Structures are given as C-alpha cells and as structure tokens.
Amino acid sequence: MAWRRLFITVLLIAPVLWLLAFGFTRDARYITSPLLAKEAAPFTVTLFDGRKVSLNDLRGKAVFLNFWASWCTPCRAEAKDLEADLSAEGGEHVGVAGGGGRSPLR
C-alpha cells in the first residue's frame, strides 16, 4: 500500500521536474518573431528634410529599420556605422528615432 502511494507520488512530481529540466535546453531570452519569413508591412515615413520614404521605394534593397531614441548617444554612433556599412553593401538604413524628436530621421 505504502509502495503504491510512493509510486503515485513520484508519478505526480516527475513531470514537473522534467518540465523544469527542459527549461535548460532553451534560452528564455531568445524569442522568435512571428513576423519572420513573412512579407514586411508597408510603411511611409517623413524624413527630417521633409521628403517621404516608403518601403516600396526600396524594393530590392536590404533594409535595416532601426528604432532608437534621440538622447541615446551610443545609438547615434551606431547609426553612423550602420549607414556606412549598409551603403557599402548596397542596402538602406532607415532610423526611426523616438524620445524628444517628434520627426523620424534617416
């Protein structure tokens, strides 16, 4: 009788432990996006100089859409580098800055 209860106890607890152990096989911070391998949603943004850019205009190019904030100093440095690298590869870098600046910039 006691052995049967013991068996049931183990049977109940084991799945929980197994599930927790399963957690080690994955990286909790790595979250795949449901947008992967789907067509990007079209958008149009206004640049600082008043021109407009829409995704359709950039068809055929690799587009890097970067969201950042105007007060973020490292982001500014990064924007320059991204710009340079992507131009060299024939791609396009569109930065959308939030924070203090109301208008998106390129």
Contacting residues toward another protein, per CB under 8 A: 1-2, 5-6, 8-10, 13, 16-17, 19-24, 26, 28-29, 31-32, 69-72, 74, 98-102
Q: How far is the CB of 57 from another protein (least distance, A)?
A: 29
Task: For the CB of residue 96, give the shortest distance to another protein in the complex, in Å.
Answer: 14
The answer to whether the beta carbons of residues 104 and 45 sit under 8 Å apart is yes
The residue among 5 and 38 lying less far from another protein, judged by its C-beta, is 5
Nearest approach, Cβ of residue 59 and another protein (Å): 31
Other Cβ atoms closer than 10 A to 101: 13
Tell me the closest approach of the beta carbon of residue 2 to another protein, in angstroms: 5
Evaluate whether 69 touches 95 at the Cβ level (below 8 Å): no
Euclidean distance between CA atoms 42 and 63, whole angstroms: 12
Angle value at C-alpha 39, between 80 and 30, nearest 5 degrees: 65
**Comparison of 34 and 60: residue with beta carbon closer to another protein:** 34
For another protein, the closer CB: 32 or 56: 32
Closest Cα to residue 85, out of 62, 55, 59, 102?
A: 62
